[in-house]
Amino acid sequence: MKKKVIGVALSAMLLALGIIGAHAQQAGKVFRIGYLDGGTAAGSAVLVDEFRQELSKLGWIEGQNIAIEYRFSENKGPERMPELATDFVRLKVDLIVVAGEPTALAAKKVTTTIPIVMTIAADPVAAGLVASLARPGANVTGLSNLAVELNTKRLEIVTDAIPGLSRVGLLRPAGASERQLKNLRAAAVALKLKLEEIKTQVDAKGLEDAFQTAKQKQLGAIMTTQATSFFAERKRIVGLADKYRLPAIYYQKEFVDEGGLMFYGADYADLYRRAAVYVDKILKGAKPADLPVQQATKFEFIVNLKAAKQIDLTIPNRVLERANQVIR
């Protein structure tokens, strides 16, 4: 009987040591994360920092237990994405974080096994990235920024903010999401607005040309489709809107931080922090297929009266009353 007890105790001890050893080995591993973005390193830094800080709070420290490989397409369009995504497969990263649908689609095309976490996908189901929000079903999960739905709301706001508005310019890059465009066109018709689509090369000359076109067409306001390339050039875009005295509504708060007129949309910093939580779960063993895609839950409307004054625009009080924040 004593021999049996000793044997059981010894087996339990060895099992425990094995578990501890395996845990220690896993704990000592440095996980490699690939970060893929369609914009520029400088332009995306503010959101990448939010992501990294949240990872740090969750115990993931660069240089200790994670290493992040950053790849930016430098606003060169979707055609460069597959090459950058393939590089992550070659490096055998443990997980890929993607900013936006074009990057997510590129990553999904090159791997069906490496987990992919989306930070800001417009409509991942319609894009074919996941089977459904509740059950992603493969190696992709993450966050949706509800870009398609929020575009309509922005068009409504700019109509209310500028009495008598009849023509709005829409800056769109090559390869702009057809779902965003279709939604905006329908919203413009419903609001009895003429939507002038301006194909825009997202660089210094291309943006200048786009604003010149908007001014020549005597448009009453402008907005852009949601794209990481536009976000990367937000300071230039805000400056041009001021230069050409064109009222504008933007899809990310950071445009207003640069002096832009109005912002309505999801809190992107919150989405990037929540993406870090997905990374944490997956690195600890969760499967992307079992993690439902979450939609944006925090929304803001900000009006910058300093910017309005610069272009001699008076925004009605009824619009200001709806804002979460008014910068005076």
Helix axes 147-161, 178-190, angle to 10 degrees: 30
Shared domain check, 190 and 286: no
Indicate whether 127 and 138 sit together in one domain. Answer: yes
Name residue 37's beta-bridge partners.
72, 99
**Exposure letters 211-221 (e unless 16+ CB within 10 A, then b):** bebbbeeebbb
Alpha-carbon distance of 151 to 70, in angstroms, equals 29
Domain CATH for 217 = 3.40.50.2300
| pLDDT recorded at residue 18 | 43
Per-residue pLDDT reduced to its tens digit, 279-293: 999 999 999 999 999
**Mean pLDDT, the chain cut into blocks of 10 residues (328 residues total):** 44 44 57 96 96 98 97 86 96 97 95 97 94 96 93 94 96 85 93 96 96 97 93 97 98 96 96 98 97 96 97 96 96
Cα(162)–Cα(7) distance, rounded to whole angstroms? Answer: 83
Question: Distance between terminal CA atoms of the chain?
Answer: 84
What pLDDT score was predicted for residue 10? 40
Other beta carbons less than 10 A from residue 272's beta carbon: 24
Do both 18 and 95 map to the same domain? yes
The answer to whether residues 156 and 290 belong to one domain is no
What is the phi-psi region of residue 271: left when phi exceeds 0, alpha when psi lies from -120 to 50, beta otherwise? alpha
Tell me whether residue 1 is in a domain.
no
Residue 308 located in a structural domain: yes
| Residue 38 and residue 104 in one domain | yes
Assigned domain for 126 exists: yes
The answer on 26 and 50 residing in a single domain is yes
Q: Looking at the structure, do residues 234 and 306 belong to the same domain, yes or no?
A: yes
Q: Are residues 199 and 319 in the same domain?
A: yes
Please tell me the total count of domains within the chain: 2
Q: Is residue 4 part of a domain?
A: no
Q: Is residue 228 part of a domain?
A: yes
Which pLDDT belongs to residue 26?
Answer: 53
Model confidence over 85-98: pLDDT tens digits? 999 999 999 999 99
pLDDT at site 274: 98
Q: Do 76 and 197 share a structural domain?
A: no
Task: Please report whether residue 185 resides in a domain.
Answer: yes
Judge whether 34 lies within some domain. yes
pTM: 0.87
Structure confidence at residue 70 (pLDDT) = 97
Contact call for residues 159 and 211 (beta carbons, < 8 A): no
Does 2 reside within a domain? Answer: no
Q: Are 228 and 38 in contact (CB under 8 A)?
A: yes
Residue ranges in the chain assigned as alpha helix (H)? 2-27, 41-57, 81-91, 101-110, 147-161, 178-190, 204-216, 228-232, 234-243, 253-257, 268-283, 305-310, 317-320
Distances (CA, A) of 95 to 106, 216, 320: 14, 47, 43
| Chain segment 152-175, per-residue pLDDT in tens | 999 999 999 999 999 999 999 987
At residue 37, φ and ψ (nearest 5 deg) are -140, 140
Q: State the pLDDT at residue 75.
A: 86
Shared domain for 260 and 272, answered yes or no, is no
Domain, as residue range, for 207:
147-267+300-327
Q: Phi and psi of 281, rounded to 5°?
A: -65, -45
Same domain (yes/no): 279, 211: no
Does residue 145 contact residue 113 with C-beta atoms inside 8 Å?
A: no
Residues 81 and 110 in one domain: yes
In DSSP terms, which residues pair with 207 in a beta bridge? Answer: none
Q: What is the DSSP string of 105-119?
A: HHHHHH-SSS-EEEE
